[in-house]
Amino acid sequence: TCFVLPCLPAIIVTLVGHDDSHGKGGSALAVSLALYLLVPVIACIYIALLGRSMSLSAFDELHGPRRPRLYRTLPKYMGNLVVGSSYEAAVGLRDFIRGPDQLLEEFDAEMNEKMRSTSAAIQAIQEEWKAAVVHGDASSEDLDNLDYVLNSEAGVSHRRYQHGWMRDRAKDGSVLAYPDDGSEPGRQCRMNPDGTPMRLDDFVQTREAREAHLSKEEVLALRLYTTLSFRAINAPLRRLKKNEHGVPLQPPQLEARHPLPVTISLLQKALPKMRASQRRDTAVSDGRSHLDSGRHSESSSPNANVEVIRSFRFSELIGRSRSRPRPSKSRPLPPTLHPPSLPPVLGLGPVE
């Protein structure tokens, strides 16, 4: 094809025997030369694409279907991702958020005093958020989120966020409620059995919160973290102390004490409880499905937890991807709090 096709114009002119007085033979030769240049290039591109398709098909046959595009493109961004060590994950953020001018023992004693009871912890949360607004580390919107989570009924607010979503409401603006058929309520239900909207105490009594042994102040911190106030929680964790060359110190240290230490301490206690509860639910559900049916099927899988499990496994993938940190020109990030993989019943829904 690469050699015969370019010759066709010249061959046709030769066989027909046209007079070349009008330059038709020269035009045919010019077209032939152009095709001689273009056809091999097109053929090479086709062969390359065909070979890539065949190699990907062979790869799929050997290793199974490829992962979604997100998983294929993630590795090229890993050079800019910095994760903490296993020691830092075990110790937590206590040593990080206390700031450079306070001993760890003093910080622990202060947190224990502020969280000695539920009422004391809630009061400490309110006081630190008000102080954060005064010092410019938070905004009046954050105080509104705190008041909503602490004192308001679910879905009572009509404040709209991105794409028109409202807190604890469905896309059409209705408060998430029980199914009309009277069956088991959905995980995203924000209504009590008597038809009244849920309050903070009702969220504490949900199955997910009770199985994870969450306290009222921990549920408050989790619900607050699923609002836009997560920005005020995470932003100070990236204000790092630097050396004389403008490079962040290693290990990372905050420039100053975090303005919301009580909120972060409660989140640090609550998130591992949620993860442990989800893993326990998964193990129990899988075990029951095998015992009851003798084989695993889609109908017996723990569908209620599948989204939480997927997001948790993806966070594990990110954590394992850089067991040996590579040097990067980008600014290192401190061990921030990742957005929690909460059951929808504890979060505010798509507004996050």
With left for phi above 0 and alpha for psi between -120 and 50, is residue 2 left, alpha or beta?
A: alpha
The CA distance from 319 to 55, in Å, is 30
Global confidence as pTM: 0.59
The CA distance from 287 to 296, in Å, is 10
* Secondary structure (3-state) at 169: strand
Q: Taking the CB of residue 13, how many other CB atoms lie within 10 A of it?
A: 19
φ/ψ of 195, rounded to 5, equals 95, 0
User: Which of 82, 135, 114 shows the shortest CA–CA distance to 256?
Assistant: 135
pLDDT of residue 168: 82
Max intra-chain CA distance, the chain: 106
The CA distance from 144 to 345, in Å, is 20
Q: Are the C-beta atoms of residues 172 and 328 closer than 8 Å to each other?
A: no
pLDDT of residue 329: 44
The CA distance from 308 to 302, in Å, is 11
pLDDT of residue 79: 52
Residues 6+ apart with CB under 8 A from 331: 240, 248
Both tokens of 78, joined, read 């890993």
pLDDT of residue 238: 84
Q: Are the C-beta atoms of residues 175 and 197 closer than 8 Å to each other?
A: yes
Each residue's pLDDT, cut to its tens digit, for the chain (352 residues) gives: 555 555 665 555 555 554 555 555 566 666 666 666 677 777 778 766 766 555 555 555 555 555 555 445 555 555 555 556 666 666 667 777 877 777 778 888 888 889 999 999 999 999 999 999 999 999 999 999 999 999 998 888 888 887 788 888 877 777 777 655 445 444 567 888 888 888 999 999 988 889 899 999 999 999 999 888 999 998 888 888 888 888 888 777 788 888 999 999 999 889 888 887 776 655 544 444 333 333 333 333 333 344 443 443 333 333 333 333 444 444 444 444 544 445 555 666 544 4
